[in-house]
């Protein structure tokens, strides 16, 4: 029995407390039309404090060498993810935009164009066409869904367990006159409420890493995908270069987990085995971060100005670079100290800073990838053979 099998057996599915979650999100965030720093300083203090406690308690003393809280994180995967995105969504939108993912970069290609191309590439791998019914698993605030729908004409349902992101994503869709094409809904990707065989295609962009067991989320995706349909994802995994006995490697893995709300990072071999075990036929498995590109995928976090490709990129890079993140951290700390930002805001930015450092180190060493591409097919159901008529 694999370690993934035993992990999955220990996981209890989270209770569906959707009304409670929605009430908490409304209490904490208020007006979803606010964004960036305006949204950060406008949080309800009591709810924000509850989210801080609810998230960081999952890491105890935050010691990767004696991580005694991993099993608790796996069992509390849903609350962990909800609290994480209640705390970081505004920082993500401020620093990165509405598509919360990495991508490859080509020389002369601006940041926003590279992000969009990465999404188009995934849509092309699925062969999406006009008005297909598509599921985006872990859709964030719907940036990729909007871009992919514009590119293909597909109708996309975004599945998300964070009510604040759902509200913002649906507001963005309405603002862009795309409510007939894009709709974000509440749900737990470990126990989906959609009918079986209901989607023409499914994709996930750097989202299923939040699952406590990959077989669980992949199995749900397999269930709701139509026979013959395709599933494609960019998965966060540790590569074959990761050495679990190497303390620096362990530190990087743990830093990525705590800074990015991930219960447990799995190796690429576990992801592949999980896809196959639930019934998928893997058509393509390719680490896009290992293509030896001239510009590394982690460059916006690395603080290397030589990779900036356009005037507009300077603004993005100024926010995402080491210096930019330092300004955000200290600025947020100042606003917290004078009572403008809620207590604990700086702690969130410090966790994001550590995540950035570990992501860059993991990328440079090649022990981590945020874009392990899997393209899979759900086999056609076997045809029922007609029984010959019985002669009298």
pLDDT (0 to 100) of residue 2: 44
By three-state DSSP, how is residue 374 classified?
strand
Helices 322-337, 311-320: axis angle to 10 degrees equals: 60
Secondary structure E strands in 206-257? 225-238
CA separation for the pair 361, 368 (Å, rounded):
9
pLDDT bin (cut points 50, 70, 90) of residue 390 is: very low
In the block, tokens 């308690």 appear at 57
pLDDT (0 to 100) of residue 330: 78
**What value does the mean pLDDT of the chain take?**
90
Per-residue pLDDT tens digits for 55-69? 998 887 666 666 778
**Phi, psi (5° rounding) for residue 110?**
-65, 160
pLDDT bin (cut points 50, 70, 90) of residue 10 is: low
CA separation for the pair 111, 91 (Å, rounded):
18
Per-residue pLDDT tens digits for 311-351? 777 877 777 777 778 878 878 888 778 888 888 888 898 88
Query: Who wins on pLDDT, 30 or 118?
Result: 118
Per-residue pLDDT tens digits for 137-192? 999 999 999 999 999 999 999 999 999 999 999 999 999 999 999 999 999 999 99
Domains and CATH numbers, the chain: 112-241+265-288+373-377 (3.40.50.150)
Per-residue pLDDT tens digits for 238-254? 999 999 999 999 999 99
Per-residue pLDDT tens digits for 82-134? 999 999 999 999 889 999 999 999 998 999 999 999 999 999 999 999 989 99
Q: Is the pLDDT of residue 384 over 60?
A: no
Contact 185, 160 (CB under 8 A): yes
Q: Is the pLDDT of residue 263 over 70?
A: yes
Q: Compute CA 345 distance to the chain's CA centroid, rounded to the nearest angstrom.
A: 21
Q: Is the pLDDT of residue 237 over 90?
A: yes
28-32, 44-48, 289-293: least confidently modelled range: 28-32
Strand partners, 188: 191
- The percentage of the chain sitting over the pLDDT mark of 90, rounded to a whole number, equals 71
pLDDT bin (cut points 50, 70, 90) of residue 3 is: very low
pLDDT (0 to 100) of residue 6: 42
Q: Is the pLDDT of residue 23 over 80?
A: yes
Residue 26 tokens, joined: 């409304």
Instruction: Answer yes or no: pTM beyond 0.85.
Output: yes
Please, how many CA atoms are within 13 Å of residue 64, restricted to the half-sphere of its CB?
A: 19
Residue 128 tokens, joined: 């999406």
Secondary structure E strands in the chain? 133-137, 155-160, 182-186, 199-205, 225-238, 281-287, 368-377
pLDDT (0 to 100) of residue 1: 40
Please, how many CA atoms are within 13 Å of residue 354, restricted to the half-sphere of its CB?
A: 17
């Amino acid at each position: 029995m694999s370690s993934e099998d035993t992990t999955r057996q220990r996981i209890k599915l989270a209770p569906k407390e959707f009304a409670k979650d929605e009430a908490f999100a409304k209490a904490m965030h208020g007006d979803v039309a606010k964004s960036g720093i305006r949204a950060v300083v406008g949080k309800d203090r009591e709810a924000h404090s509850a989210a801080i406690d609810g998230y960081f308690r999952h890491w105890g003393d935050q010691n990767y060498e004696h991580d005694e809280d991993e099993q608790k994180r796996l069992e509390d995967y849903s609350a962990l993810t909800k609290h994480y995105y209640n705390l970081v969504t505004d920082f993500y939108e401020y620093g990165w935009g509405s598509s919360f993912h990495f991508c490859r970069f080509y020389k002369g290609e601006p940041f926003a164009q590279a992000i969009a191309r990465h999404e188009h590439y995934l849509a092309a791998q699925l062969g999406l066409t006009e008005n297909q019914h598509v599921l985006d698993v872990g859709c964030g605030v719907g940036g990729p869904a909007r871009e992919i729908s514009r590119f293909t004409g597909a109708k996309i349902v975004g599945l998300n367990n964070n009510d604040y992101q759902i509200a913002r994503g649906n507001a963005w869709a309405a603002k862009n006159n795309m409510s007939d094409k894009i709709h974000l809904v509440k749900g737990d990707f470990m126990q989906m409420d959609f009918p079986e065989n209901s989607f023409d295609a499914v994709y996930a962009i750097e989202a299923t890493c939040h699952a406590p067991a990959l077989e669980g989320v992949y199995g749900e995706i397999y269930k709701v995908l139509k026979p013959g349909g395709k599933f494609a994802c960019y998965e966060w995994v540790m590569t074959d270069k990761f050495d679990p006995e190497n303390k620096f490697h362990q530190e990087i893995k743990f830093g990525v987990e705590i800074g990015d709300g991930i219960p447990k990072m799995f190796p690429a071999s576990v992801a592949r085995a999980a896809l196959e075990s639930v019934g998928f036929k893997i058509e393509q498995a390719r680490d896009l971060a290992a293509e030896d590109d001239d510009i590394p995928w982690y460059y916006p976090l690395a603080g290397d100005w030589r990779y900036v490709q356009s005037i507009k990129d300077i603004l993005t890079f100024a926010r995402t670079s080491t210096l930019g993140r330092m300004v955000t951290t200290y600025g947020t700390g100042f606003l917290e100290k004078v009572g403008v930002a809620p207590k604990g805001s700086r702690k969130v930015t410090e966790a994001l800073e550590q995540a950035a450092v570990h992501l860059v180190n993991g990328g440079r060493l090649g022990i981590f990838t945020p874009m392990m591409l899997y393209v899979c097919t759900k086999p056609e159901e076997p045809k029922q053979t007609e029984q010959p008529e019985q002669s009298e």
